[in-house]
């Protein structure tokens, strides 16, 4: 579980998202200003990010995020890469980030900016690179969210 020496572009990690130390190692590498790359697991971000895609995450401060960015965060259920759909205030008036998977109908519980690990900048699938936070990806995700809401309202 030791990272290999970082290159100029990306640090290669020998941990997986399911490892207990994944968030700590990724947070440490991103905190040093390096990008990280790992294989995604799960279906919540399909079709933007598919199971097994190699995703690249860069360091970012919460105040540099844009709605529609895909971010990597620590959550109560582990580390997730989901789309930022809004910024809100907690009951105590603190800023929180509201995330949602592209393939999910509901938002995740809000997370504090301190739980932000980085921004997902691209996914690689079958040798092809996809910009997951491009304006096209943001529009497509917004349309999927609107369709989810419409379907929920139309259900008896």
> Taking the domains of the chain in order of start, what are their residue ranges?
10-154
Instruction: Give percent of the chain with pLDDT exceeding 90.
Output: 55
Is this prediction's pTM over 0.75? yes
Tokens of 22: 């994944």
Average pLDDT over residues 48-52: 92
β 35-39/10-12 pair status: parallel
Q: From CA 103, how far away is CA 118, in angstroms rounded?
A: 21
Using pLDDT thresholds of 50, 70 and 90, give the confidence band for residue 98. very high
Mean pLDDT of the chain, nearest integer:
85
CB-based contact 122:132 (threshold 8 Å): yes
At 14 the pLDDT is 59
CATH fold of 10-154, please?
Umud Fragment, subunit A (2.10.109)
């Amino acid at each position: 579980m030791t990272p290999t020496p970082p290159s100029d572009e990306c640090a290669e990690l020998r941990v997986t998202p399911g490892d207990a130390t994944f968030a700590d190692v990724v947070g440490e590498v991103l905190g040093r200003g390096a990008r990280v790359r790992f294989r995604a697991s799960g279906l919540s971000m399909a079709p933007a990010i598919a199971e097994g895609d190699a995703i690249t995450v860069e360091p970012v401060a919460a105040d540099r995020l844009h709605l529609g960015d895909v971010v990597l965060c620590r959550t109560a259920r582990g580390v997730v890469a989901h789309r930022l759909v809004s910024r809100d205030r907690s009951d105590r008036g603190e800023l929180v980030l509201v995330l949602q998977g592209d393939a999910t109908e509901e938002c995740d519980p809000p997370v504090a900016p301190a739980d932000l690990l980085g921004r997902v900048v691209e996914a690689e699938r079958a040798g092809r690179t996809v910009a997951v936070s491009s304006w096209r990806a943001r529009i497509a995700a917004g349309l999927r969210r609107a369709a989810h809401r419409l379907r929920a309202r139309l259900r008896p």
